[in-house]
A = this chain, B = another copy of it.
Amino acid sequence: MTAHSSHDYRRPLDGVRIVEVSSFVASPLCGVTLAQLGAEVIRVDPVGGAADVHRWPRTDGHNAAPVGTSIYWTGLNKGKRSVTADLRSDAGQELVRRLILDSGPGGGILVTNSGGRQWMSHERLAAERADVITLELLGGSDGRPAVDYTVNAGLGFPLLTGPEGHSAPVNHVLPAWDVVCGLYAALAVTAAVRRREQTGDGSAIRLPLEDTALSVASTLGYLTEPQVNAHSRVSTGNDVYGTYGTDFATADGDRVMVVALTPRHFRDLTELTGTTAAVAAVGEALGADFSQESDRYLHRQVLSALFAPWFGTHTTAEVESALAASSVLAQRYRTFDDVVAQGILAENPLFAALDQPGVGNHLAAASPARFDGHYLHVGPAEALGESTEAFQ
């Protein structure tokens, strides 16, 4: 479609066509992710756009772009065709069905977060094309509306997040469950395509946002602990649970995240902070074995108190330089502005220039999964309805 496409490379989902009747984060993220992997993705919206068409952040008139284009919408719809239709009319509904059904062997796939519409239900579509694949994203496990913020509130993470001593919940800023749900959706559709190509069978897939969060929290142990242990974990502020990791202020007032996962990391950390003898003495006095990550975790506060003065008396540049010369895992906290200003995107071939109408030229990322040395980029988002004529 644009300079971003690698015309000479057959992408893994080449020949697959997805119709997406979607809005917000999870469902459009599923589509852009599949587009990066090579699928043709057609997003269908009602005339005038869905509820997310003007969503913040929007352009503010810089970068040779008009005011008010949704950076959110364009970012999540990169590499897709855009079709609009009156979804309440018979003609509009028939157009959507034909887009799904008359689309060759790699087609017959619908992804939607607007379920419950009889006219595009799995049963209705399967009656005309037996091998249809539908994926319906839901909110709550029971199908009731729910969004990332309400699902997260119900799950336990916000009450463990935040500064120590802050008892109120702290929401995450990254809509992590939306992202995770969108990726599960992309995975489920791809797995269903593989099975269909093996067996000829379609799939009716249902994926509730709440179940996504519950499943991850179960697999990672958060929902197992309260069932099998007498005590659940408590909030540890910025300290990493179960091993040694925390953040320190430098002499310049910046903060640096430091993680010592292995005995070697930890040894390097005591050496560079000049605390090797003090840490050994404390370990002996407390009966702690700091070659064990459990003991590094349990005694993290005394360890952090020993390390903090070195950080507080060295400039950020000195701290970064000493950490970089060691095995310790460390990173200065940056803002998004810092990331851009420091040239992190410009120096990473994951990013390439994208001239997005309404937003202007900027660096945009490919799929993080590099295939055979190829970064899988896609072109810009089409304007709302840009391909409506083409698919009549």
In the complex the two chains form, is B71's CB within 8 Å of A225's CB?
Answer: yes
Q: How many copies does the complex hold?
A: 2
In the complex the two chains form, is B185's CB within 8 Å of A183's CB?
Answer: no
Closest to A297 in B: B56
In the complex the two chains form, is B57's CB within 8 Å of A364's CB?
Answer: no
Residues of chain B lying within 8 A (CB to CB) of residue A220: 25, 72, 75-76, 175, 179
Other-chain contact of A55, B155, B242, B366 (Cβ < 8 Å)? B242
Residues of chain B lying within 8 A (CB to CB) of residue A190: 187, 190-191, 194
In the complex the two chains form, is A231's CB within 8 Å of B60's CB?
Answer: yes
B-contact 0/1 string along A247-266, CB 8 Å cutoff: 10000000111010110000
Residues of chain B lying within 8 A (CB to CB) of residue A37: 187-188, 191
Point out which of A56, A327, A330, A344 has the most chain B C-beta atoms below 10 A from its C-beta.
A56
Q: A12-B192, A170-B161, A197-B198 are in contact. Are A334 and B156 (CB under 8 A)?
A: yes
Other-chain contact of A219, B76, B154, B170, B201 (Cβ < 8 Å)? B76
In the complex the two chains form, is A368's CB within 8 Å of B336's CB?
Answer: no
In the complex the two chains form, is B222's CB within 8 Å of A371's CB?
Answer: no
In the complex the two chains form, is A12's CB within 8 Å of B337's CB?
Answer: no
Can you name 19 A-B residue pairings with CB atoms under 8 Å? A56-B241, A76-B220, A135-B369, A147-B259, A151-B331, A153-B247, A154-B339, A158-B333, A161-B171, A161-B172, A163-B168, A169-B255, A170-B238, A194-B197, A204-B373, A205-B370, A206-B369, A211-B350, A211-B370
Considering the chains assembled together, what is the distance between the CA atoms of A369 and B332 in angstroms? 37
**Given A207-B369, A223-B345, 17 more contacts at CB 8 Å?**
A57-B241, A147-B261, A149-B259, A155-B334, A156-B334, A156-B337, A157-B173, A168-B255, A172-B172, A173-B235, A179-B220, A184-B367, A194-B194, A208-B368, A211-B370, A218-B345, A224-B364
A102 at interface by CB-CB < 8 Å:
no
Q: A194-B194, A206-B370, A215-B365 are in contact. Are A223 and B336 (CB under 8 A)?
A: yes
Closest to A77 in B: B219
Considering the chains assembled together, what is the distance between the CA atoms of A320 and B26 in angstroms? 26
Point out which of A135, A161, A223, A294 has the most chain B C-beta atoms below 10 A from its C-beta.
A223
In the complex the two chains form, is B176's CB within 8 Å of A174's CB?
Answer: yes
